[in-house]
Amino acid sequence: MKNLSLQKSEKSSPQKENERIASRQAHSPKKVSWQKPSYDPAISCFLEEIYAECNRSERLELDPLAIVRRYEKPEDMEVAGLLCSTLAFGSVELIMQACEKALKPLGEHPAKALREMRRNEIEHAWAFFQYRFCFPKDMIALMSAIHEALDSYGSLEALFLKCDTLSWQNTGKDPGDSAANEQKTHKGKTEPDWQENILAASSTFVLKLHELALKAQPEGLRKNLLPDPCKGSAAKRLFLFLRWMIRHDEIDPGCWNSISPARLIVPMDTHMIRTCTERLRFLPRRKSAGTMASLRDALIVTEAFRLYAPEDPVKYDFALTRPGIDPRPGDERFSCL
């Protein structure tokens, strides 16, 4: 009888353990899993409210775009824009100082001044420039690449359009074809063509600038200063530059007229990551607060914003980052700090 009792006890112990586990699960708080964003009228209202409140020229005071907007000619804006966006890392105050210092040798007309510079003059102009990991050789390589682009293509816009044309040719489609914006299946996922092609054009643009930089500097341009988005980088500074050049409203000058803002990708800085994770829930919560954004994150967020502004998915970028970068009284109500 004793042995039989022990056998019953042994048989029942796993069952009791399962019951205890089930009980703990029933009383523990349920984890809310992240789901792919879908249209939410409340988010739509929030986005329009923060855009109306924060997408104003007076909020440009602490943004390198304020420096770019001093220039009137598109050719000057694009040169200043690429320079300032490339240096847009670190605290905003230091970014502004670095941009001012970098542009000083170019005077009031950066494009004209850079075109007329000889190689030794470029080397002399930025021989002592340094901002964090951007050293003189990096700045000389960047300015030499822009100089070569202006000399060979006439403008940075012309170079980008050339890269865009090449990317369309690789897909076998005409960029003017309305069907080019239809969705297709790629690796088991449905993705819009505009997304792939702006990436391809952006990647080719970056690679071309690196190629031109090699002519001036044996080591070329530092890879992480102007990263290739097709290698997985969120390429925040490159997509920021494209936002400035392609969009047009009270904030963005939009001096390039040949590319649709519908093709833009959201620049993912720390403020946008936090807002898209905690406030908008466009992204799942990150395992570590310091985790860098990836290209995949940027594409997910861009697709989410397309639910609210399909023709202009980067529309809310500036407004959403203002409360974190340059907080003003009342911004706390947006919960984007």
Residue with tokens 């021989």: 127
Rounded Cα gap, residues 176 and 306, in angstroms: 21
CA separation (Å) from 26 to 16, 20, 21, 239?
Answer: 15, 10, 9, 46
What pLDDT does residue 228 have?
Answer: 95
Residue with tokens 């775009």: 65
Per DSSP bridges, beta strands 189-192 and 183-186 are antiparallel
The domain locations on the chain are 38-55+266-337
Rounded Cα gap, residues 78 and 74, in angstroms: 6
Rounded Cα gap, residues 136 and 126, in angstroms: 6
Which of 257, 258, 259, 256 lies closest to 198 in space, CA to CA? Answer: 259
pLDDT tens string, the chain, 337 residues long: the values are 445 444 444 444 656 655 654 554 444 434 446 678 899 999 999 999 999 999 999 999 999 999 999 999 999 999 999 999 999 999 999 999 999 999 999 999 999 999 999 999 999 999 999 999 999 999 999 999 999 999 999 999 999 999 999 887 776 665 555 334 434 433 334 444 555 669 999 999 999 999 999 987 888 899 999 999 999 999 999 999 999 999 999 999 999 999 999 999 999 999 999 999 999 999 998 776 667 889 999 999 999 999 999 999 999 999 999 999 999 999 899 988 6
Other C-beta atoms lying within 10 Å of the C-beta of residue 48: 15
Residue with tokens 């909020």: 59
* pLDDT tens, residue by residue, 18-69: 565 455 444 443 444 667 889 999 999 999 999 999 999 999 999 999 999 9
Rounded Cα gap, residues 16 and 248, in angstroms: 66
Task: Quote the distance between the C-alpha of residue 29 and its chain's center.
Answer: 36
Burial class (CB in 10 A: 0-12, 13-18, 19+), 206: buried
71 near 64, Cβ under 8 Å? no
